[in-house]
A = this chain, B = another copy of it.
Amino acid sequence: MLQSSQWFSEIAADDASAFSLKIRAKLHEEQTPYQRIEIYATEGFGNLMVIDGCTMLSSRDNFLYHEMMSHPALFTHPDPRRICIIGGGDCGTLKEVLKHPQIESAVQIDIDERVTRLAERYFPELAESNADPRAQLLFEDGVRWIQRAEAGSLDIIIVDSTDPVGPAAGLFTSAFQADCRRALAPHGVLIQQSESPLYHMRILREMHTAMRTAGFSASRTLFFPQAIYPSGWWSATMASKDGDLSTFRHDDARDKPFETHYYNAEIHHAALAQPEFFRRALMAPPDATIA
């Protein structure tokens, strides 16, 4: 085993690789009704949140994930006003969403309130928009919340979840995605974290199929680096209720009235580029074997 009292290691068992961060101290550990949460102070990445043994976010590199889970979808929609975040309990995605001045409401629905309370304590920079009057923080089952949501009541749904096992498994199904589609207004956009292009091509392919099965008219994957996630390369997949996702509000993204650390209009366009192996895997017949 790869174990050391000085390092936190996440092992990607199927791919027989691991990523480790040197730790200064364990700051917190608890078992909630839903999952086990640990917080570490690391030597090189600031604070680290771990859920059920998987790295969730670090102070140093969460900007990549949070910016890419929010800005591309928001600049793809012609006029996003009503946003819902499923999961996202660390509030980092919520903070990015609320940077867009036209947002009227942003509801974050995480099943586990403890994630948010610990983020407020150990990642206060991510929680700094929680008191925004446009923000609403709910702690309940996102799958049921979306089922009960009024049809056509949302412009963007962001699925900022853990991996497709345990509490998040229900978020990786076309039944959930069909509920999302019903809750979206015309021009609505769903974006969902979709794992590593190098390690999880099968999950990515199934997500595109599920989105089309759910009735979405188009789906596109965004690619971005994420050092602390398995393989260091991550993705999010967008689906459009009725559009084609081939364009975005480029000039608005170029002239955005807020700062980012990774995202810009050029990066948005670049994130949509499909590697050859990915393009071939999506085009392969349904029964093809995908590594």
On A, residues with C-beta under 8 Å from B are 1-4, 6-7, 9, 12, 14-22, 42-45, 61, 197-198, 223, 225-227, 231-233, 259-264, 266-267, 269-277, 279
A47 to chain B, nearest CB (A): 13
C-alpha spacing A273/B266, complex, angstroms: 6
Instruction: List 4 extra interface pairs beyond A2-B4, A225-B231, A227-B231, CB under 8 A.
Output: A2-B6, A3-B4, A16-B43, A225-B225
- A271 partner residues in chain B, CB cutoff 8 A: 270
C-alpha spacing A274/B6, complex, angstroms: 35
The answer to whether B44 and A17 touch across the interface, beta carbons within 8 angstroms, is yes
- A3 partner residues in chain B, CB cutoff 8 A: 4
The answer to whether B19 and A18 touch across the interface, beta carbons within 8 angstroms, is yes
- A231 partner residues in chain B, CB cutoff 8 A: 225, 227, 232
- Oligomer: number of copies: 2
Task: Tell me the nearest residue of chain B to A274, going by C-beta.
Answer: B266
C-alpha spacing A7/B7, complex, angstroms: 14
- A45 partner residues in chain B, CB cutoff 8 A: 15-17
- A277 partner residues in chain B, CB cutoff 8 A: 261-262
Instruction: From B20, B198, B259, give the contact of A18 (CB < 8 A).
Output: B20
A164 to chain B, nearest CB (A): 20
The answer to whether A273 and B270 touch across the interface, beta carbons within 8 angstroms, is yes
By CB atoms of chain B within 10 A, which of A261, A262, A266, A269 has the most?
Answer: A266
The answer to whether A269 and B262 touch across the interface, beta carbons within 8 angstroms, is no
A173 to chain B, nearest CB (A): 28
Task: Tell me the nearest residue of chain B to A22, going by C-beta.
Answer: B16
The answer to whether B16 and A42 touch across the interface, beta carbons within 8 angstroms, is yes
Task: Tell me the nearest residue of chain B to A265, going by C-beta.
Answer: B273
- A267 partner residues in chain B, CB cutoff 8 A: 273-276
Instruction: From B9, B44, B264, give the contact of A15 (CB < 8 A).
Output: B44
C-alpha spacing A42/B17, complex, angstroms: 9
A204 to chain B, nearest CB (A): 14
The answer to whether B273 and A269 touch across the interface, beta carbons within 8 angstroms, is yes
A247 to chain B, nearest CB (A): 15
The 8 closest A-B pairs by CB, nearest first: A232-B232, A16-B44, A270-B273, A16-B43, A270-B270, A16-B22, A225-B233, A18-B20
A235 to chain B, nearest CB (A): 10
Task: Tell me the nearest residue of chain B to A23, going by C-beta.
Answer: B16
- A43 partner residues in chain B, CB cutoff 8 A: 16
